[in-house]
Structure 1
Amino acid sequence: MALTNADVRNAEPLKKNYKLNDDKGLFLLVESDGIRTWKFSYRFDGRDKVITLGPFPEVSLTWARELRDEARELIADGIDPISRCEKREVFSPSVETFESVARDWLERVYRLEVSEEQFRRTKRQLENYLISSIGKRVVSEVTPEDLKSLANALGAEGHLEKGKRVLGIARRVYQHARDTGVAGYQQTSALRRRLTGSGTEPEFMVSTREQLTNLATGVLGQWSRTTTTAALKLTVWLLARPNEIVNARWSDMDLDAGEWRIRRKSTDSESGYKTITVPLPRQAVELLREMEPLTGRQEYVFPGSRDRRKHLGSSTLTGALKKVTRSNPVSSDNLRTLAATALGELGYQAEQIQAQLINQSGDEQTDRSAYLEKRREMLQAWADYLDNTVIGKVTRRG
C-alpha cells in the first residue's frame, strides 16, 4: 500500500532501523536516531541495488516519487542510476561509497561495542586495506571477488590472520549497509555466503588447511602419556604460549568450573594482583583430570623431569611442537595465526579471537573479560575443530 504524507510525517524512531515501503521500490528508512531518508531499490544487470534520493523533510513524498520515476526511466533506457550519482547529475552519491558506509559503521556501531584500543586497531586496518583500495567505489558495485582478492594478497605475503580479519571487517560493513538500506538483501547475503567459506575460498586457505591437518594429527594423534605430550596438547587447545603453559599451577585450576584462573601481580589492583580467566574446553579438563593423580601433589601441572619442584622448560615444549609437525613445521606464533584463520572461518568475530590470543601476562584485561562466555564457546569449537580435522570431518557454524 502506498504511503500517505501522514504516514511519513508520523514515522517515529524505534530501537532498530526500519523501512516504510511506498511503491515501485521507493521506501523511507527510519533510523533509530530519528534520521529519515528516502531510498530506491531496484535491479540492474542482474543485481539488487539501492540509491539514496534524499532526507525527509527536505525531500517530500511527492518529490521522492518523482526522483524514483526518473530513476525508473533511466533503467528502462538501459542506464544505471548509480552512474548518474557518480557524475552528480541527480540523486545523492555520498552515502553510497564503501568509505562513507564503513566510517558510519565505525562511529555509530563498532565504537560502542569494543574498547578504544580495539576500535583504533580495526579502524587502522579498515583504512589501510579496505578504504585505500575500494573506499571510493559505490557499495553495491563491490563484489566478493574484489574483497577476497585483497585477502589473497595478504595471505600470499604470509599475513593469514590479517587477510581473514579484512574479510571479517568487510562483512560487518556490509551488514551495516543492509541495515541502513544502502545495499540490498541479496547482495549482503551473497557477500556473507561467499566470504565465510561456502563459496570459492581464498587461495591462501588451501595451504592453511594443510598446516591445520598436520598440526591436529601431529599433536592430538599421539598416544604418549608423557608430561611434554600433555603440555603440548594444552598449548594447542588453549592457544597459549609455551612459557604460559609450563608455568601453569594446580592452585590456579578449577576443573569443576572448567577454568584456569591465573593470578598476576598488578599495580592497578588494590589487592596487588589481577586474575586472568582462561576457559577450558572439555578436552582440556579431561586431560587435566588424567594428569592430577600423576602431578597433582606438585606445584606445577607440568613439572620438570629432573627436578619435580621446577616446571617443564618452555624450550622443550617449543621443540616438541616443531618435531611433531616436522613435515610442515608449526611454531607457537604460527599456531595462533592458524587458529585465528580457522576460527574466523567458523564465524567468530575478529575482536573475540583477538581477546583470546592476547598474551595472558599482558595488560589488556578489558578485552579478555568482555568476551569470556564467547571465548568459552570459541575454545570449545576450536578443540572440536581439531578433533574433527583428525577424523576428516569439519563442521562450520552457520
Structure 2
Amino acid sequence: MALTDTAIRKIKPTEKSFKITDSAGLYLLIKPNGSKLWYMKYRVDGKEKKLAFGPYPDVSLFKARQLRDAARARVREGADPAADKKIAQQKKKNGHTFRQIAMNWHADHRRWSEHYAMTIRRRLEMYVFPDIGDKFIDQIVTEDLLFTLRKVESKGFLEITARLKNYVTEIMRYAVKKQLIKSNPALDLDGEFTPPETQHYPALPLLEKLPELLSRTDSYSGRRLTRYALKLSLLFFVRSSELRFARWSEIDWQQKLWIIPEEREQVENVRFSHRGTKMKTQHIVPLSEQAITVLKQIEALSGHLAFIFPGEYDQDKCMSDNTINKALRVMGYDTKQEICGHGFRAMACSALSESGLWSKDAIEKQMSHQERNSVRAAYIHKAEYLEERIAMMQWWADYLDANIDRYISPYQYAVPLKNVS
C-alpha cells in the first residue's frame, strides 16, 4: 500500500532498522534513532542497486516520488542514476556550479576597483544566484538565463538587466575558455530585452552661443571656486566626478599634465570619493596655458587642502555634484533643455571634430570614450597620442578665447593652421 504523510508521521522506531515500502521501488528506512531515510531500489544490467534521496521530512513524500520517477526514467534510458549522482556530487565538489564559476571569473578581475567589484558581486547575489547559482554550469541553457533576467526586466530595472546580461555573457565565455562548457548560451540573449534609455545631456544647440556662455561664466557673481570650476569644466571637458574629486597631488606642474587615476584614495565621510576615471584606466589631461592660469588662481584658495575644489561649508569634503548645474541655472540656463555640465563634453567633441585638425583616435582618447570594437580598443589603449592631444587641448583653449568677443566656427578658426601645415 502506498504511503501517506499521516502514516509516515505515525511510524515509531524499533531496536532494529526496518523498511516501509511505498511503490515502484521507493521505500523508507526507519533507523533505531528515529531517523527516516528515503531510498529507491532498482536494477541495472541485472544487478540490484539502491539510490538515497535524503531524510524525511526534509525530503517530503511528494518530492521523494518525483526523484524516484526521474531516476526510473534514467534507468529506462539505460543510465545508472547512482552514477549520475556521483558525477553530480563530484562536479559540485569541484566547484562547477554557476555560482562558483562566476566567483572565479570575478576573482580573476584584479584590476577592478573595490567598489566596482562589490557592485557586480552584489548584483549577481541579488538577481542571478537565487535562480541559477546552484545549477551546474554545463546544464544551464538560454531559457534559464532568459527566465532569470526577465524577472529583473519586469520590475523596470532596464539598466541593471543590461548589465546583468553582460555579466552572465562574460561568465559563460569564461566557462568556455576553461573548457567547462562547449558553447556560450548567453550569446542568444541579444535583442531579447528592452534596452535602457540612453541619457543624452543637453548641450548648447549651436556653438554660436559660445560667446554668451563665456561671458556669463566670467560675470558669474557666486563663489569664486565655482566660477573656476565652470572654466575648467569647459577647458578639460572631463566627467563630473573626475573634476569634483580631483586632488592637487594629481597635477604634474612640470610636465603640464593632470593625471586622473583609475581609482582614488577614499576620503572618510566623503561618499564616492574613491572614484577615479569612469573607464577604469588612468586618464591624462594635458594642461593648456589657460588651464594652468586658472589652476594657479585656485591654488591660492585651496592649495593647502587635498581637494582642488573643496566644499563650501566643509573644506575636508569636495564640492557638491550639483554645483556646476546650479551655477548654470543661476546664469539663466535651463539645465534640462539648454546646457548642463556634462554637455560641455559634447560641445568640445563637436568643435574638435568640426575643426578637421585632429584624428578621431586622439579625440576619442581625450574624451575617454570606450571603443566598442575590441581589436580597435586594444590598439587605442596602447596608443596615447599624447603629443597630438597636447596640441589639441591648447588649440581648444585658444578657440574658447577666440570666441569671447564674437563667434568663430571651429572650421574657420582651424583654416590658418591648415594653410600652415
Common fold: TM-score over 0.5: no
Query: Normalising TM by the smaller chain, what interval?
Result: 0.3 to 0.5
Structure number with the bigger relative contact order (C-alpha 8 A, sep ≥ 6) is 1
Asked which structure has the greater CA Rg, the reply is 2
Scaled by the length of structure 1, the TM-score of the pair is 0.42
Using structure 2 for the length normalisation, give the TM-score.
0.40
